[in-house]
Amino acid sequence: MKYIVIKCGGSVLDELTPSFFTSLSELQKRGFKLVFVHGGGPDINDMLNLFRVKPQFVNGLRKTDEQTLKIAEMILSGQTNRKLVALLQQYQFSAVGFNGSDGSCLQADYINREQLGLVGKISKVNTEFLELVLKNNFIPVITPIGITEKGEKLNINADYAAAEVAIALRAVQCLFVTNVDGVFIEGSLACSLSTQEVYSFISNGEISGGMIPKVQSALNAVEKGVESVIIVSGKKTFFNNGQWHGTKIYQKEPITN
């Protein structure tokens, strides 16, 4: 089977348009099996604020105590996941949502319990579980909540989760859905960029502002072993007549003598 892993940030869900779902439909017609991994950062922050819990980040990862994890899981599984599954079903896609901890889908270990608390990195993806869902023509929609061997739930960065799922399934493509068409260099949409080019454009200021975290997420995925990531828009058609519309970020092949 040909898999495509699609990572949706929580902030982009409300901006997905019919054109986005048309592209998903075309991918399915071409025989691709779709897997979604989603975040929910803005909604989690709103709920933490309601509970007067100040968000803390260490090296871009959310420091997570027991209360923060409970709130994160409540929002991810009870709100964001439900929203994305409902949207897919509204456009006639058969979707099933679940926590990454369900069926030990995302098995995880602590990154650094002292520094980050209940934050994990994925040690194994239960591909048998995912393939069972996919073979029955459902689209898995996964919250980035992992589980340890001892049954402890851990908060997982959604970008890292998407990358690990893509690697485990040997996905032909990993998409990061944003609210922009891709990366613009000198006013024009870049069709593809190597990781070296991305770092260069960040350092010279050509890639700036809100695009920096988007490309850094793609870089993280590529550097974890994903062959390439395409940054696409959730507001427009991103796949049409076999052509991708967005910015492909890939690891440049090392030069061999």
pLDDT value of residue 253: 58
In a domain, 221, yes or no: no
Neighbours of 247 (CB within 10 A): 27
Determine if residue 62 is labeled as part of a ligand binding site.
Answer: yes
pLDDT value of residue 210: 79
The string of pLDDT tens digits covering residues 148-166 is 999 999 999 998 999 999 9
Total domains present in the chain: 1
Range of the domain at 92: 2-178+228-238
Determine if residue 113 is labeled as part of a ligand binding site.
Answer: no
**Model pTM score:** 0.92
**In angstroms, rounded to a whole number, what is the distance separating the alpha carbons of residues 70 and 74?**
6
Q: Which candidate, 145, 167, 173, 165, places its Cα nearest to that of 81?
A: 145
Spans of the chain below 50 pLDDT: 254-257
HEC-encoded secondary structure of 69-135:
HHHHHHHHHHHHHHHHHHHHHHCCCCEEEEECCHHHCEEEEECCHHHHECEEEEEEECHHHHHHHHH
In a domain, 213, yes or no: no
In a domain, 203, yes or no: no
Determine if residue 40 is labeled as part of a ligand binding site.
Answer: yes
What b/e sequence results for 93-130 when a residue is b if at least 16 CB atoms lie within 10 Å of its CB, and e otherwise?
Answer: bebebbbbbbebbbbbebbeeeebbbbbbbeebbeebb
3-state secondary structure of 136: coil
Determine if residue 155 is labeled as part of a ligand binding site.
Answer: yes
CATH number for the domain spanning 98: value is 3.40.1160.10
pLDDT value of residue 58: 83
